[in-house]
A = this chain, B = another copy of it.
Amino acid sequence: MSSINDPAVLFQGTTLEGPEIDRVTRTLGDLTDVFSDKDALAAMAADQKVYDVACYFPVADGTTAGLFFGITYIYPGKVGTEYFMTRGHFHQLRDRGEFYHCLEGEGMLILMDEDRQTRAEKMYPGSLHYIPGHTAHRTANTGNSMLVFSAFWPSDAGHDYQSISEKGFSGILVEQNGEPVLASK
């Protein structure tokens, strides 16, 4: 009777392969509003890669009740004392949650609620993180190798980068005496 098909996508180790995979790279030049130390930033190459993202979007963006999947690869590095990190966002539909699962490396999930209270969770291979709704989230690489994590989120969540671009997070993750510390901005 009915058919037996191959899977559309392979997620093996830290790679995502398939005909429908969406890939994007963010460089320091794309993230000039993100890092605090503008002098340190100006002294670095604008084409320095900060992170790559590979995504599988099985349904159209904005679809109710569907899910998206992605893998993020953050390079090791710092701008001044601040670790390389993702842009960070609230979901456009504020109540949407998300899961992160660390695959490789060492880092920190930085979370900020709508009252601008910032906290962080340690990321290391196997750490599983639930990001509740109404919570902005970004990730920083605090190690010397790539930080790699997978993410699952609702296909109607959307991204609000604007409010982070304008006001940032209330806390920034910097290196002090060789350790990551969440410091007031």
Contacts and interface: CB of A to CB of B under 8 A. Distances in A.
Interface majority SS on A: helix, strand, loop or mixed?
strand
B3 A126 contact: no
A47 B3 CA distance: 33
A67 B1 contact: no
Interface residues of A, number: 56
A18 B96 CA distance: 23
B152 A152 contact: yes
A43 interface: no
A124 B10 CA distance: 9
A128 B10 CA distance: 6
A123 interface: yes
Contact of A99 (B117, B130, B152, B182): B152
A98 B67 contact: yes
A154 B67 contact: yes
Interface in A166-183: 171, 180, 182-183
Given A12-B125, A59-B130, 5 more contacts: A3-B182, A7-B123, A7-B129, A8-B129, A66-B133
10 nearest A-B pairs in the assembled complex, by CB-CB distance: A12-B126, A7-B127, A58-B130, A65-B95, A152-B152, A9-B128, A11-B128, A66-B97, A4-B120, A10-B126
Interface of A: 1-13, 16, 18, 56, 58-59, 64-67, 69, 93, 95-99, 101, 108, 117-130, 132-133, 152-155, 171, 180, 182-184
